[in-house]
Amino acid sequence: MPVSVLLCLVVAISDGDTLTARCGTPGAYQQVKVRIAAIDAPERKQAFGQKSRQHLAQICFRQRATLHALSHDAYGRTVANVRCGTTDVAAAQVSAGLAWVYTPYADQHPHLAPLQQQARASRKGLWAQPRPLAPWAYRHRHQR
């Protein structure tokens, strides 16, 4: 999928790494479910899951967003680099200690790893826990 840029309005926040945006021109809007590229936030029922979702809402809800669509995931969501206003959303979530850098895509987003190291060193957000559980490990443990 070639990279496309969409100008949107964020209309819903699912969790700390997923949002819904209304993109396009008035009268021809399209709802797009977006997975923020290169990060994985705690699940809703996991420690810091709600804080992560609330932080994303503070940054993006009812804000203009620029989506640099990269691909689609297994759930049909658009995977994109997201900016709400001038904020790099992935960087903001990682810096606040409210999302992990998602390792398989980390090399395409080299600015994120140092932010995670800083958050971890200063015990911000989920890094305040003695043994934070990565969302992918949590999902694996709680699969039905």
Partners of 33 in the β-ladder: 20
Known active-site residue 64: no
Q: What is d(CA 60, CA 15) in angstroms, rounded to the nearest whole number?
A: 12
Residue 20 · residue 33 · CB < 8 Å: yes
* Residue 139 bears catalytic tag: no
Cα(82)–Cα(95) distance, integer angstroms: 15
Parallel/antiparallel/unpaired status of strands 4-15 and 18-23:
antiparallel
Cα 47-80-22 angle, rounded to 5 deg = 95
Catalytic residue among 43, 64, 141, 144: 43
77 given a catalytic annotation: yes
Catalytic residue among 77, 131, 139, 141, which? 77
Nearest residue to 32 (alpha-carbon basis) of 85, 76, 83: 76
Annotated catalytic residues are: 35, 43, 77
